[in-house]
Amino acid sequence: MDLYEYDKAVSEKFGIVCGVDEAGRGPLAGDVYAAAVVFDRDTVIEGINDSKKLSEKKREMLFDKITSKAKAYCIARATVEEIEALNILNASMLAMKRAVEGLDTEPDIVLVDGNKTPDLNQKSAAIVKGDATSQSIAAASILAKVARDKYMKELAEKYPQYQFEKHKGYGTKLHYEMLDKYGISEVHRPSFLKKYMEGKQ
């Protein structure tokens, strides 16, 4: 069954389907993003897949298609401060909850990528590898990833020394080299850098 057919089958059973996914759970810096997407039952967008399997150029092209064809969509985030206060899992759930609550169409069922759902008012289901199963989850993964990458490029302008535009905050060799050189900034996640900090002492 392809991604569109999956959503169509769920829609026939439950009604309006919303797909939700997050981006940026793993990086050492920056906010975590989430998106929620609702399509009309007959909307098919060619080329939609798990955002990690697509090139940056393809994701950006699909971002425009998704935002123009979606019945409703919302992109939300949880801040570095919230990640530190709540932990990354709970902050990701908060970002996803905000994305669903920000929709101007009320879904009947929310499909969430992964094995856990945020605390929602709607019926929800966690779908492991959801971004390779459901068109609306895959679309949400693209919106969240493109929006977060854009935000990391903005952070790169503000903090050019870290070269965020290259590694998007992930723990690459380059990123650790920049941390060695410049230390931790206010947009880094201290809880993600505990071992690194201990190694510096």
Looking up residue 122, the CATH number of its domain turns out to be 3.30.420.10
* Total tally of structural domains belonging to the chain: 1
Q: Is the pLDDT of residue 196 over 70?
A: yes
Query: Is 14 a domain residue?
Result: yes
- Within a domain: 142: yes
In a domain, 167, yes or no: no
The pLDDT score that the predictor gives to residue 43 is: 96
Residue 175 confidence (pLDDT) above 90: yes
Contact 138, 19 (CB under 8 A): yes
Across the range 82-106, mean pLDDT stands at: 98
Alpha-helical segments (H) within the chain: 3-14, 56-69, 80-86, 88-101, 135-158, 164-167, 173-182, 194-200
Question: Is residue 30 a part of any domain in this protein?
Answer: yes
Task: Say which range, 37-51, 106-120, 152-166, has the weakest mean pLDDT.
Answer: 37-51
Q: Is residue 66 part of a domain?
A: yes
Asked whether residue 180 is assigned to any structural domain, the reply reads no
Assess if residue 175 is contained within a domain: no
Query: How confident is the model at residue 18, as a pLDDT?
Result: 98
Domain hosting 83: range is 3-150
Residue 200 lies in a domain: no
Give the position of tokens 């994305």.
Answer: 99
Closest by CA position to 74, among listed 105, 53, 46, 47: 105
pTM of the entire predicted model: 0.95
